[in-house]
Chains A and B, each alone.
Chain A
Amino acid sequence: MTERRHTPAAAVARDALGSPTIGEAVVAGERGPASAASAQPLLSVDDLHVNFATDIVTVRAVEGFSLQVSPGEIVALVGESGSGKSVSAHSIMRLLPRTGRIPRGRIMFEGRDLLALPEEQMRDVRGREIAMIFQEPMTSLNPVLPIGLQIIEPLQFHLGMTAQQANARAAELLRLVGISDPEQRLKQYPHQFSGGMRQRVMIAIGLACNPKLIIADEPTTALDVTIQAQILELMKSLSRDLGIALIIITHNLGIVARYAHRVVVMYSGRVVEQGDADAMFHRPRHPYTMGLLRSVPRLDRPRTGQLETIEGLPPSAADQLPGCRFAPRCPFHLPACDTPPPLAPTDTGGLSACIRMQDIAAGKLAWKRADAATWSDTPEETQQPVISVRGLTKHFPVKTGLLARTHQVRAVEDVNFAVGPGETLGLVGESGCGKSTVGRLILRLENPTMGSIEFGGRNLADMSRAELKAMRRKIQAVFQDPYSSLNPRMTTGQIIAEPLKVYGISSSDAAARERVTSLLSEVGLRPETAERYPHQLSGGQRQRVGIARALAIEPEFIVCDEAVSALDVSIQGQIVNLLESLQRKRGLSYLFIAHDLAVVRHISSRIVVMYLGRVMETADRDELCERPLHPYTKLLLDAAPIPDPKVEKERAPRLIKGELPSPLAPPTGCVFHTRCPIATAECRADIPALREIRPGHTVACIKV
């Protein structure tokens, strides 16, 4: 352990040692991304390789990563989990885990080779010249230290500020990232901040020493879409005003389209394509990029059919394919793809690692999926609904002390909807809006405080345990987290067979096995999967297992609670398609609970928007997305970025101000009035009733 106190003298010495920084001069002179492209790069990574050595194998996590970032530029690093994007970013900071090794590569930052710097000098780069913002605002701040201390640390270490100077600067930083009452907030601890506020604090820490580059590793993945928009707009404006270059690591193509000047696409440890954001979205020159863009549903367009996904799974890091890593999933692969393709210039001014990029440029290769089905019609809604929910209400009592008064959290308040046979109802809203509680109430995992849930002519809300057991055969669930919702000690086969046993459906073990095999093939898994344990499967495969388990007892209604949220883009599309084709085949009805509006628009026929436990608006999917009436729906749609830079340039996203109020003390009157741009005094008076404005389109807003 080196015990070296950082003195101001050391900081000055470092400044004297460093070149008079070309980068700084550029920042001062030019700020626009257009001019930045021609300038000397601030950061340039060449042919970076990263290995993780365990006792058994050496995993090559990154093989040949290159990147240039100019001052003030926003570069997006895109890829699915395991593509090596985070590892590459951590390598720039030299923050790899203990087992990580960099056998090859060069990372030049303002003329210094970061990989060759002694550790003490590297420490001066971290936090001072390059700052990093991490994915999980909940765990990235030290829970036992006040926010203030965590912000002033880099100021004291790098700039040698006194406690007083540092505190003043910390307050200034908090104000800069939009946290009010900063002097008081500095004394508070991370748990006293919401997720979005913590991410603002992380940004304040990152900005503390005026870095030249900020690396943001999935900065908004854990946040709601409204807070995501707030945070990213903040980062963008700070980048513009302070001339800070940004590397945003993300899997969300909408964010890329809205914010990035340039894009680097990674697949399985390699860069497959990089270039200008506009070109990448409209003229992709690598089949993987093409497939990725095809597989995300669009919020701004009506659906035209099933999603065109990339088939198969990404290779695991241990598989060492010699040639193009994407070849096994690529519809255009040739025998020549077995040799590693070079990253070569494209006609659009970028780079692509595909030997057929000329063919792609010439438009000879159109992305086609084998299982493409074009049906897109919604089933007629004249039939009797499968399930209808009336006045559904759930209050959770909360005790704050031993003898203290009991408060009620109004999680769900007077929710009404009906789902027809073969229909999908989308339920959207920010986290904490009560959408998952609605799902749990329908499954009777929670008991409703009031209201009825009518299913098959019976009211689920007042059924006894025995009646419920019979009813649960008809209602099943697919949950969000395919990692924790499957028992790790049971094989896939046992997991799927369990409901068959519970309901005594399969007469013998052999019959159960046969049933499991047919269910597995129905959800697109091989029969051998039955022998494997959940940890041996990928996220997408696990979610397929979860769906097979739900299907085992042939339900009529499935509650999908964020069923695709944890999955990678290409896998998400596969699961959405699977759910749709199963619905077709079996006439299933879904309640599709999700926060991703684009997916909800794609899969649902009707959409219900919830806010603080109440329904704000209900309409057909296209009606809701194209002619939203409620100000909350409008803002929600605005906040969601669309994966198309042209569309994004024309939109001026309006942000929802503030955060979700506490459900312990919801605002009086319309619960949304505290954040509503058009709210007036009368909104505070009464709770607005749902009114039908157009046929099938109801809104709870007095201003409509």
Chain B
Amino acid sequence: MFRYVANRLLLAIPTLIGVAVITFFVLRVLPGDIVEAKLRGDGTTVTADVIERERARLGLDKPRSEQFVDWMKGLARLDLGNSMWTGRPVIEEVGARFEITFQIALMATLIGCFIAIPLGTLAALHRGTWIDTAVRVFAVAGLAVPSFWLGMLIILAMLWSIGTLPPLTFTPIWQNPAANLWQLIWPALAVGYRFAAVLTRIVRSSLLEVLGEDYIRTARAKGVIESVIVRRHALRNALLPAVTVIGLEFAFLLGGLVVTEQVFSLNGLGKLFVQSVARHDFTLIQGMVMLFATFYIVTNLVIDLVYAALDPRVRYQ
């Protein structure tokens, strides 16, 4: 088990190097760089000399190979460098925003699971009845409604009903949980609904399939009561495919909350990412891509480990 995890983490290194190479060079193939974006953006006339000096300061005048080697050396020391725009370390830029986005993603995932597992189970057990139809309508609606639009509806509803808006400034959860939740629960709900919609359909179809399995018939033939059949015999098998979806959706949310953050005026990772692309902030973009890649790798590893815990047939050496 330990060896397996170590093995997987070692295998992550070539993957990450690949990601680093592609990100680095693709960014530099695109026309334009940060110096132009920064100086021209001011609307002032700048001399070529100023531009050159700024480029030299940021190390952009060096050959690309040298820039790459420098960056890789930093990565080896787990140093992502400084943002070219603000000059602050990438880690610092990302850190505060990561907290917000991670919390929303986590809450949305939990909300999704808490809604989807019971609802999907209910629909599967009452297949073909009005309950099933209602759940399916709920799920299809969730897939059809964009999260940001739902977010806007939530804001409108709050304005209309209680006349206030969630606070705009971020409070970390350990400082004031109530204030933190009051701010972040709304985007989490907006995103969690879509999450629940995806998951409900998977839980429903997977449970229906499992309920038709021979071992469920065996359990019935033993005289096991139906609620135990569902909980002990069926759900554990049915949740296996759901685990994959939960993990992948969760990892996706970390970078995929761009619009929702915008709607709720949150200073999250998505917003930072869009900003840094617009600014050609190479080091920041590179750092964030590396973080997302690492996050995906870790999430996938966790999915596989959860699989092994749920399914004794899966064993890793």
Contacts and interface: CB of A to CB of B under 8 A. Distances in A.
B224 A157 contact: yes
Interface in B189-229: 213-215, 217-227
B226 A142 contact: no
B227 A1 contact: yes
Nearest to A126: B223
A145 B218 CA distance: 13
A131 B221 contact: yes
Interface in B271-311: 310-311
Contacts of B312: 143-144, 146, 189, 191
Contacts of B265: none
SS of B interface (majority):
helix
Contacts of A208: 222
B77 interface: no
A400 B225 CA distance: 41
A2 B230 CA distance: 11
A132 B219 CA distance: 10
A126 B313 contact: no
Contact of B222 (A126, A136, A145): A126
A202 B218 contact: yes
Interface range, B side: 20 to 34
Nearest to A129: B223
Contacts of B237: 142-144
Nearest to A205: B222
A144 B310 contact: yes
Given A134-B214, A402-B7, A127 B310 contact: no
A118 interface: no
Contacts of B57: none
Contact of A134 (B218, B226, B310): B218
Contacts of B7: 402
Contacts of B223: 123-128, 154, 157-158
Interface in A1-58: 1-6
Contacts of A320: none
Contacts of B317: 400-401, 404
A140 interface: yes
A153 B222 contact: yes
Q: What secondary structure prevails in chain A residues at the interface with B?
A: loop
Nearest to B126: A1
B233 A142 contact: yes
Contacts of B227: 1-3
A125 B221 CA distance: 9
B224 A1 contact: no
A456 B263 CA distance: 77
B225 A134 contact: no
Contacts of B313: 143-144, 189, 191
Contacts of A189: 312-313
B89 to A, nearest CB: 37
A93 interface: yes
A140 B125 contact: no
A95 interface: yes
B221 A95 contact: yes
Interface residues of A, number: 40
Contacts of A191: 312-313
B14 to A, nearest CB: 14
A146 to B, nearest CB: 8
Nearest to A402: B7
B236 interface: yes
Contacts of B311: 143-144
Nearest to B210: A142
Given A144-B312, A145-B233, A2 B218 contact: no
A203 to B, nearest CB: 12
Given A153-B219, A191-B312, A191-B313, A136 B225 contact: no
A656 interface: no
A213 to B, nearest CB: 12
A139 interface: yes
Given A139-B213, A144-B312, A404-B317, A6 B225 contact: yes
A378 B20 CA distance: 72
B220 A126 contact: yes
Given A1-B230, A402-B7, A142 B225 contact: no
Interface string A202-223: 1001001000000000000000
A136 B214 contact: yes
A6 B228 CA distance: 11
B222 A157 contact: yes
A141 interface: yes
Contacts of A402: 7
Contact of B225 (A123, A125, A143, A205): A123
Nearest to A123: B223
Interface in A679-701: none
Nearest to A146: B312
Nearest to B125: A1
B214 A140 contact: yes
Contacts of A4: 225
Contacts of A145: 232-233, 236
Nearest to A98: B127
Interface in A113-130: 123-128
A95 B217 contact: yes
Contacts of A143: 215, 237, 311-313
Given A1-B226, A131-B221, A139 B214 contact: yes
Nearest to A120: B225
Interface string A521-554: 0000000000000000000000000000000000
A144 B215 CA distance: 11
Nearest to A215: B221
Contacts of A140: 214-215, 217-218
Contacts of A202: 218
B226 A2 contact: yes
Contacts of B221: 93, 95, 126-127, 131-132, 134
Contacts of A2: 225-227
Contacts of A131: 221-222
Contacts of A404: 317
B215 A141 contact: yes
Contacts of B224: 123, 127, 153-154, 157
Given A144-B310, A191-B313, A205 B218 contact: yes
Nearest to A131: B221
A136 B215 CA distance: 10
Interface string A181-197: 00000000101000000
A95 B220 CA distance: 8
A1 B235 CA distance: 15
Interface in A643-692: none
Contacts of A150: 218
Contacts of A3: 225, 227
B19 to A, nearest CB: 22
5 contacts: A126-B221, A134-B218, A139-B213, A141-B218, A189-B312
Given A3-B227, A134-B217, 8 more contacts: A95-B220, A123-B225, A126-B223, A127-B222, A139-B213, A157-B222, A400-B317, A401-B317
Nearest 3 Cβ contacts at the A-B interface: A127-B223, A127-B222, A126-B223
